[in-house]
Structure 1
Amino acid sequence: MAPGDVTRSASRTFELLGAITERGGLTLGDAAKAAGLATSTALRLIRSMEQSEFLVRGDDNVYRAGPRLLQIGARAISDNQLLSRARPAMVAIAEETRESTYLSTHGPKGTALYLAQIEGTHAIRHMGWVGQTVPLVGTAVGAALRGDLQSEGYAIAHDTLEDHSTGVAAPIYDAVGRIVGALSVIGPTFRLDDALCAQHGLVLVERCRALSAELGSPTE
């Protein structure tokens, strides 16, 4: 196989794997369509990933992440310094605000990637976005990752991705001043009015500053 063919095959494999895992599982036909591949090509690549246990097929004929992929993901998460250091701050924010709290970082193709969540304690609460990506433009977490902040140091977005949901986010900086992540809270818009958003925003800014200092960012 020529070098160009190898590169193209690898690219198709990764695109297909990404399409399947980002959607929580797909049938062969849906996976081929999502990756822009012929069904025969998708089947060949999927069979290869099945053999190496990157994918498994369920009784419903849906392909999902296999044990090898889960192992790699678990190792990557355990080795992620930002994730391990952010968890205490996330727990504290969730306890103080009672809203679901998320850690995000820069994702693929100009997106924000949700890495972890601490679930809120309100009866009506947001949940289930870990592993998902959202646009950097038009979202609170995206604004935080871009540094597009209000004067107080946080960003707010109402009803942009989900109706009746509001997000508040603040950035995390590393030792050289780059924004490497963001902490955010998401809850129903009827509860997160302007006053409460401002209150939660200050909580996020305080926790993010402390976390940034742990990562070596100069303190003000």
Structure 2
Amino acid sequence: MPVTKNEQDEGDGGALHHVQGAASFSKFMTVLQIIADAPGMLNIAQLTKRAPFPRGTIYRLVSALIAEGLVTQSGENGTFRLGPRLLQFAAKTWEDSDLRTIARDFLVSLRDATDETVHLAVPSNNRMVYIDKLVGSNRVQMKTSIGGQVELHSTSVGKAWLSGLPDERLLDVIKGLDLKRYTAKTFTTPAALLDELKRTREQGFAFDDEENEPDIRCFGSPIFNRSREPIGAVSISMPVYRHDERRHELCGRLVRETAQLISAELSRML
């Protein structure tokens, strides 16, 4: 149910400036983190069960976060997600990120070699966030944007990043995922996803075969830092009608090689 002014109640108002000091800031951050960890999954009743604050305080905090554009609430089911203002803040950081800067020339080369949409993504709260995007010359393009968030289990960038995790951490991450079905091809059980990630490791790239949205196929490969920790992924995306056996082999090889080059450059420079 939507948060209303009456529900804020408890006599202390709903404006952000009415909550002062470090303790209050910590409360805002706690609520933000709970929402970030379960985007689109918690309504106000469920949020009050998870947040360690009185009900009236939670209503007040959420209302203030919504008013500031830091949280949005779905009109359909009343669940919460991080808001556009947070994504704007993040985008300004990504513009200056070392990974984005180092990867840019390699992404340009990959885009030019395939004439397809190329993405660079990093993990964030059990999702992947696009921090760069380059498009080819084709008229049919991906409807994605920098700052957009996508799932780990149903996308090439997500599966690529997962495949780079050590086994113990991989199992922990998968336990925390909501393996939601987006198409008939989405992997929706841990066992099926683990089998897919095994194939991803063996071939060096992930293949999204219309698993996130119909008529779109993507190739993704993990980017590692000097410590061999996966810190992101690069991908190539295309409509099904431009995908065939020859392009499959070409794009798989190119996305794998590009991720390796970016990883090597990261290790050299950072």
Task: Tell me if 1:135 matches 2:135.
Answer: no
Structure 1 9/125 Cα, relative in aligned 2: closer, same or farther at 3 Å? closer
Calculate percent identity across the aligned residue pairs: 20
Structure 1 159/8 Cα, relative in aligned 2: closer, same or farther at 3 Å? same
Shift of residue 117, structure 1, vs aligned partner: 0.3
Aligned-partner SS, 1:190: helix
1:195-215: CA deviation from partner (whole Å, max 9, x where unpaired): 312211111111211111111
Task: Tell me if 1:164 matches 2:215.
Answer: yes
Distance 1:46 1:136 in 2: 26
Structure 1 169/75 Cα, relative in aligned 2: closer, same or farther at 3 Å? same
Task: Tell me if 1:145 matches 2:145.
Answer: no
Shift of residue 46, structure 1, vs aligned partner: 4.0
Aligned-partner SS, 2:136: coil
Structure 1 196/128 Cα, relative in aligned 2: closer, same or farther at 3 Å? same
Question: Contact 2:129/2:149 (CA < 8 Å) preserved in 1?
Answer: yes
Using the TM superposition, name which of 75-84 and 156-165 deviates more.
75-84
The structure with the largest helix share of the pair is 2
Shift of residue 127, structure 1, vs aligned partner: 3.4
Q: Which residue pairs with 1:207 in the alignment?
A: 258
Q: Which residue pairs with 1:11 in the alignment?
A: 30
Task: Tell me if 1:118 matches 2:134.
Answer: yes
Question: Contact 2:90/2:147 (CA < 8 Å) preserved in 1?
Answer: no
Aligned ranges 1:56-135 → 2 under 5 Å: 65=84, 70=88, 72-108=89-125, 110-135=126-151
Considering only aligned residues, what root-mean-square deviation do their CA atoms show, in Å? 3.6
Q: Which residue pairs with 1:43 in the alignment?
A: 63
Shift of residue 78, structure 1, vs aligned partner: 3.4
Shift of residue 76, structure 1, vs aligned partner: 1.2
Q: Which residue pairs with 1:28 in the alignment?
A: none
Distance 2:150 2:91 in 1: 22
Q: Which runs of 5+ in 2 are unaligned?
A: 1-19, 49-55, 72-82, 164-196
The structure with the largest strand share of the pair is 1
Structure 1 94/127 Cα, relative in aligned 2: closer, same or farther at 3 Å? farther
TM-score, normalised by the number of residues in structure 1: 0.71
Structure 1 45/126 Cα, relative in aligned 2: closer, same or farther at 3 Å? closer
Aligned-partner SS, 1:171: strand
Structure 1 36/202 Cα, relative in aligned 2: closer, same or farther at 3 Å? same
Q: Which runs of 5+ in 1 are unaligned?
A: 24-31, 56-63
Aligned residues: 192
Distance 2:123 2:32 in 1: 22
Structure 1 195/15 Cα, relative in aligned 2: closer, same or farther at 3 Å? same
Distance 1:36 1:157 in 2: 33
Q: Which residue pairs with 1:26 in the alignment?
A: none
Q: Given the alignment, which residue of 174, 179, 185 partners 2:236?
A: 185
Aligned-partner SS, 1:185: strand
Shift of residue 132, structure 1, vs aligned partner: 2.1
Distance 1:95 1:2 in 2: 51
Using the TM superposition, name which of 147-156 and 167-176 deviates more.
147-156
Shift of residue 194, structure 1, vs aligned partner: 3.2
Distance 2:225 2:246 in 1: 30
Distance 2:47 2:107 in 1: 38
1:91-140: CA deviation from partner (whole Å, max 9, x where unpaired): 111111011000011121x2222211001211222132422222222322
